Amino acid sequence: MRLFVGIALSPEASDALRSVRARFEPGSADLRWSQPESWHVTLQFLGAASEKQAACVAEKLAALRAARVPVRMAGLGFFERAGVFWAGVELTRELLALQQLVTAATRLCAFAPEERAYNPHITLARTKGRKDGKALGPLKKVVERSKVGLEAKFIASEFLLYESFPGPEGSRYEVRARFGLE
């Protein structure tokens, strides 16, 4: 199974992203747009896991104590080499603290944290097949010309352990466990 830990979006935040998608999706045939039910802020991608590791992760995450996390979406951007169009998420001290607690807990279950800096975002679209980012060019020009702003915020009262099921139309996610924030 493939696992990751993340924060689900509030309905208001999802509505803001739906507006962005409605504005930019038409005419972007070279992109595969993510579905609103899959939008989340990743805290840690774990990848392949055994049932034993999944149980360990759920146990360790259940023991975490952390404050509720203000989540503020701001701005749109691109990871060109990866072929991704994203909505930015402000890296607050509360979000970083939760992300660090999660990675410390999952390390106890044999998962290593990523070496690159934590860069919270919400993936809105990916290129189809090509990973060189050239398919993002037309969208990038439209986004830059549009000067569309994205501002949405909410307070996360929980984080989740998700299982990912890859498929030809994109991955589908199921919640395996929920963990409250204080």
Cβ atoms 98, 43 nearer than 8 A: yes
Q: Phi and psi dihedrals of 21, rounded to 5?
A: -60, -45
Residue-level pLDDT at 130: 57
Per the CB < 8 A criterion, the answer to whether 107 and 57 are in contact is no
Residue 178 is predicted with a pLDDT of: 98
Residue-level pLDDT at 132: 60
Q: Which CATH class is domain 2-180?
A: alpha beta
- Would you list the domain boundaries of the chain? 2-180
Could you give the CA distance from residue 73 to residue 62 in angstroms, rounded to a whole number?
26
Do 7 and 154 form a contact (C-beta atoms < 8 A)?
no
pLDDT of residue 51: 97
Q: How many CB atoms lie within 10 A of CB 165?
A: 11
Q: What is the pLDDT of residue 98?
A: 98
β-strand 84-89 against 151-156: which pairing, if any? unpaired
Looking at the whole model, is its pTM more than 0.85?
yes
Report the chain (182 residues): mean pLDDT per 10 consecutive residues.
98 96 89 93 97 98 97 94 94 97 98 94 86 79 88 96 88 95 96
**Please, how many CA atoms are within 13 Å of residue 159, restricted to the half-sphere of its CB?**
29
Nearest of 150, 5, 154 to residue 87 by alpha carbon: 150
